[in-house]
């Protein structure tokens, strides 16, 4: 993993930019954590991020605050992302999230289950690597 990608993975919040089929960028604040030689983002399988990445694997990462505000001059890290949907692999890849976000991740996933009325989670992981 490049030093730039590694550095952005140490941040608490990151603005993840994905691209529509038209090329229009869409940015979202996400939690991000390292796992093996990649960075990992948790999202819903039917989220816009996952849908856009199935068409175009390019992503841009920038440090941001929890509301997604990017500081002027924040460096942009270009990367490549793939959607991982296998439930066992998703849980394995989330080890970094559990270590980094702890109770917040547990609370987030519990609330998500309540909203889905106990239905099995359709979470996927975005596995981000250097281009």
CATH code, 50: 2.30.110.10
Question: What is the pTM for the complete model shown?
Answer: 0.84
User: pLDDT band at residue 87, thresholds of 50, 70 and 90?
Assistant: confident
User: pLDDT band at residue 75, thresholds of 50, 70 and 90?
Assistant: very high
Q: What is the largest CA-CA distance in the chain?
A: 43
Question: How many Cα atoms sit within 13 Å of 100 on the Cβ side?
Answer: 19
Q: Among the listed ranges 15-19, 63-67, 94-98, which one has the minimum average pLDDT value?
A: 94-98
pLDDT at 95: 81
pLDDT at 119: 56
Per the structure, the complete domain to which residue 58 belongs is given by 3-129
Alpha carbon separation from 106 to 46, 73, 98, 110, 114 (Å, rounded): 21, 33, 8, 6, 12
Residues 6+ apart with CB under 8 A from 38: 1, 127, 128, 129
pLDDT at 120: 56
CB neighbours of residue 129 within 10 Å = 17
User: pLDDT band at residue 116, thresholds of 50, 70 and 90?
Assistant: low
**φ, ψ of residue 115 in degrees (nearest 5):** -60, -35
Q: Pick the more confident residue, 34 or 100.
A: 34
d(CA 25, CA 98): 29
% of residues, the chain, pLDDT over 90: 53
pLDDT at 118: 54
Give the total number of structural domains in the chain: 1
Is residue 47 pLDDT above 60, yes or no? yes
State the chain's mean pLDDT as an integer.
Answer: 87
């Amino acid at each position: 993993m490049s030093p730039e990608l590694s550095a952005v993975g140490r941040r608490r919040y990151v603005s993840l930019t994905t691209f529509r089929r038209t090329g229009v960028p869409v940015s979202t604040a996400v939690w991000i954590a390292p796992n093996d030689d990649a960075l990992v983002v948790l999202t819903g399988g039917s989220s816009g991020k996952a849908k856009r990445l199935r068409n175009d694997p390019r992503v841009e990462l920038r440090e941001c605050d929890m509301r997604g505000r990017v500081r002027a001059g924040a460096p942009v890290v270009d990367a490549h992302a793939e959607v991982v949907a296998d439930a066992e692999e998703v849980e394995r890849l989330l080890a970094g999230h559990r270590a980094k976000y702890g109770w917040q991740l547990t609370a987030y996933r519990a609330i998500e289950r309540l909203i889905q009325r106990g239905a099995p989670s359709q979470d996927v992981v975005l596995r981000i690597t250097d281009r």
